[in-house]
Amino acid sequence: MTHDTLIIYAVHLKASTGDTNALKRAAEVDSLRKVTDKLHSGANFLVLGDFNIYSSNEAAYTKLLSTTGSGYFIDYLKDSMSGTWNKAIYSRYHTQSPRTRSFQGGATGGMDDRFDIILMSPKIMENGGITFVPGSYTAYGNDGNHYNDSINRTHQYCSGSNNRRCNSLFIRPYTRICEFKFRHTTSG
């Protein structure tokens, strides 16, 4: 494997609150870390998906970021979000749930959880062959003004309001996006 290879792991960890579910998420992360800890220290890798993690203190989260072993992850938002994440001050980072009423199944409850996450290897956070673009990490369609409410509940229509209206019907959780630069080098 070369330094221009990007490895992507997708996860959907155990859902719901409670100690039993948190322990299951931690066990799922243990399985992932057994794989990533075998990668070389210069590997470019990501894990993304629906983590169903509720706080920075949850065992699954701390295991992902634990620097024991070379396969740990960096959370770009770690310094911005400590403790329990379902607080109004973190509303711009929330990815679930875009609706307060049920429609064709799916989660309800309003925008109050940070479940959809992208974590990166230390190498991606460095300036190298594959690099994270600072400031590009966002919850697509979330303007941060809908804490514990439907994402489409507003009387002001800003850019992307049609996306919020459509997404409230079909997406759970909201999509997390970020950008990366790929540096092309030539030999000779």
Q: State the residue for tokens 């509720």.
A: 54
- Cα gap 14→81, rounded to integer Å: 21
Domain hosting 116: range is 6-181
| Beta bridge partner(s), residue 7 | 45
Label residue 17 by pLDDT band (50, 70, 90). Answer: confident
Q: Which two tokens stand for residue 18?
A: 């409670």
Question: Is the pLDDT confidence value at 47 over 80?
Answer: yes
Q: Which of residues 171 and 9 earns the better pLDDT score?
A: 9
Query: Does residue 114 lie in a domain region?
Result: yes
Q: Per-residue pLDDT tens for 142-164?
A: 666 665 556 666 534 444 544 54
DSSP string, 44-57: EEEEEEE----BTT
Query: Does residue 1 lie in a domain region?
Result: no
Distances (CA, A) of 79 to 56, 91, 171: 10, 15, 27
pLDDT of residue 82: 80
pLDDT of residue 155: 39
Quickly count helices (H) and strands (E) in the chain: 4, 7
- Say how many domains are in the chain: 1
Query: Does residue 188 lie in a domain region?
Result: no
Query: Does residue 158 lie in a domain region?
Result: yes
| Beta bridge partner(s), residue 49 | 11, 117
Query: Does residue 82 lie in a domain region?
Result: yes
- Record the pTM: 0.76
Question: Is the pLDDT confidence value at 132 over 60?
Answer: yes
pLDDT of residue 94: 62
60-64, 91-95, 110-114: lowest mean pLDDT where?
Answer: 110-114
Helix/strand/coil percent split, the chain, to 5:
25, 20, 55
- Cα gap 116→50, rounded to integer Å: 5
Question: Is the pLDDT confidence value at 129 over 80?
Answer: no
- Cα gap 155→172, rounded to integer Å: 23
Beta-carbon contacts of 175 under 8 Å, excluding residues fewer than 6 positions away, are 95, 116, 139, 140, 141
Query: Does residue 18 lie in a domain region?
Result: yes
